[in-house]
Amino acid sequence: MFAALAHRSRRDILRHLRSRDFVRAGDIGDALGIGPSTLSGHLRMLRAAGLVETRRRGTEIQYRLQMTVLDEAILLLHGLRPERADAATGPHPTDPRDRPARE
Protein backbone atom coordinates (compact mmCIF):
# COMPACT_ATOMS: atom_id res chain seq x y z
CA MET A 1 0.00 0.00 0.00
CA PHE A 2 2.78 2.45 0.83
CA ALA A 3 4.39 1.83 -2.57
CA ALA A 4 1.10 2.81 -4.20
CA LEU A 5 1.10 6.06 -2.21
CA ALA A 6 4.71 6.85 -3.12
CA HIS A 7 3.91 8.42 -6.50
CA ARG A 8 2.50 11.94 -6.60
CA SER A 9 0.07 11.18 -9.45
CA ARG A 10 -1.46 8.31 -7.48
CA ARG A 11 -1.90 10.57 -4.46
CA ASP A 12 -3.52 13.16 -6.77
CA ILE A 13 -5.91 10.48 -8.05
CA LEU A 14 -6.91 9.59 -4.48
CA ARG A 15 -7.45 13.26 -3.61
CA HIS A 16 -9.59 13.63 -6.74
CA LEU A 17 -11.72 10.63 -5.74
CA ARG A 18 -11.97 11.70 -2.09
CA SER A 19 -15.11 13.80 -2.49
CA ARG A 20 -16.70 11.93 -5.39
CA ASP A 21 -18.58 8.72 -5.90
CA PHE A 22 -17.70 6.43 -8.82
CA VAL A 23 -15.78 8.34 -11.52
CA ARG A 24 -14.95 7.24 -15.06
CA ALA A 25 -11.24 6.69 -15.67
CA GLY A 26 -11.33 9.15 -18.57
CA ASP A 27 -12.76 11.86 -16.33
CA ILE A 28 -9.97 11.29 -13.81
CA GLY A 29 -7.35 11.56 -16.53
CA ASP A 30 -8.93 14.71 -17.98
CA ALA A 31 -9.15 16.39 -14.58
CA LEU A 32 -5.54 15.60 -13.66
CA GLY A 33 -3.90 15.79 -17.08
CA ILE A 34 -2.78 12.15 -17.04
CA GLY A 35 -2.75 10.19 -20.30
CA PRO A 36 -4.79 6.97 -20.65
CA SER A 37 -1.87 4.55 -20.62
CA THR A 38 -0.19 6.15 -17.61
CA LEU A 39 -3.50 6.49 -15.80
CA SER A 40 -4.29 2.83 -16.40
CA GLY A 41 -1.04 1.80 -14.72
CA HIS A 42 -1.65 4.08 -11.75
CA LEU A 43 -5.23 2.87 -11.30
CA ARG A 44 -4.12 -0.75 -11.57
CA MET A 45 -1.59 -0.21 -8.77
CA LEU A 46 -4.12 1.63 -6.58
CA ARG A 47 -6.63 -1.16 -7.10
CA ALA A 48 -4.07 -3.88 -6.28
CA ALA A 49 -3.26 -2.00 -3.06
CA GLY A 50 -6.95 -1.92 -2.14
CA LEU A 51 -7.09 1.88 -2.25
CA VAL A 52 -9.77 2.09 -4.94
CA GLU A 53 -12.72 -0.07 -5.86
CA THR A 54 -14.23 -0.42 -9.30
CA ARG A 55 -17.52 -1.05 -10.99
CA ARG A 56 -18.27 -1.66 -14.63
CA ARG A 57 -20.93 0.34 -16.46
CA GLY A 58 -21.20 -1.03 -19.98
CA THR A 59 -17.74 -0.66 -21.50
CA GLU A 60 -16.55 1.82 -18.86
CA ILE A 61 -14.80 1.15 -15.59
CA GLN A 62 -15.52 3.59 -12.80
CA TYR A 63 -13.39 4.14 -9.70
CA ARG A 64 -14.10 5.13 -6.12
CA LEU A 65 -11.84 5.70 -3.14
CA GLN A 66 -11.80 2.75 -0.74
CA MET A 67 -11.18 4.08 2.77
CA THR A 68 -10.82 0.76 4.62
CA VAL A 69 -7.14 0.25 3.78
CA LEU A 70 -6.32 3.92 4.35
CA ASP A 71 -8.04 3.87 7.74
CA GLU A 72 -6.05 0.78 8.73
CA ALA A 73 -2.80 2.46 7.64
CA ILE A 74 -3.64 5.59 9.62
CA LEU A 75 -4.25 3.49 12.74
CA LEU A 76 -0.99 1.61 12.17
CA LEU A 77 1.02 4.81 11.74
CA HIS A 78 -0.66 6.44 14.71
CA GLY A 79 0.32 3.43 16.81
CA LEU A 80 3.97 3.94 15.84
CA ARG A 81 4.04 7.49 17.19
CA PRO A 82 5.89 8.02 20.46
CA GLU A 83 3.58 8.41 23.44
CA ARG A 84 5.66 11.07 25.18
CA ALA A 85 5.90 14.55 23.71
CA ASP A 86 9.65 14.78 24.45
CA ALA A 87 10.26 11.48 22.63
CA ALA A 88 8.84 12.99 19.46
CA THR A 89 11.01 16.10 19.65
CA GLY A 90 14.18 14.78 21.23
CA PRO A 91 17.23 13.65 19.26
CA HIS A 92 17.24 10.22 17.67
CA PRO A 93 19.34 7.68 19.63
CA THR A 94 21.81 7.40 16.75
CA ASP A 95 21.95 11.17 16.28
CA PRO A 96 25.61 12.28 15.99
CA ARG A 97 24.88 15.01 18.55
CA ASP A 98 24.49 12.28 21.18
CA ARG A 99 28.07 11.04 20.80
CA PRO A 100 30.56 11.97 23.51
CA ALA A 101 32.75 14.94 22.68
CA ARG A 102 36.33 14.20 21.65
CA GLU A 103 39.05 15.28 24.02
The phi, psi pair for 56, rounded to 5°, reads -100, 135
Average pLDDT of the chain, as a whole number: 86
19 belongs to a structural domain: yes
95 belongs to a structural domain: no
What digits encode the pLDDT tens for the residues 12-55? 999 999 999 999 999 999 999 999 999 999 999 999 999 999 99
Residue 80: pLDDT band by 50, 70, 90 thresholds? Answer: confident
- The Cα angle at residue 35 between residues 34 and 37, in degrees rounded to 5: 125
Paired residues of 53 in beta bridges: 64
Entry pTM: 0.73
Q: How many folded domains does the chain comprise? A: 1
97 belongs to a structural domain: no
Q: With pLDDT > 90 as the criterion, what percentage of the chain qualifies?
A: 60
* Separation CA 56–CA 94 (nearest Å): 52
- pLDDT, residue 96, reads 55
91 belongs to a structural domain: no
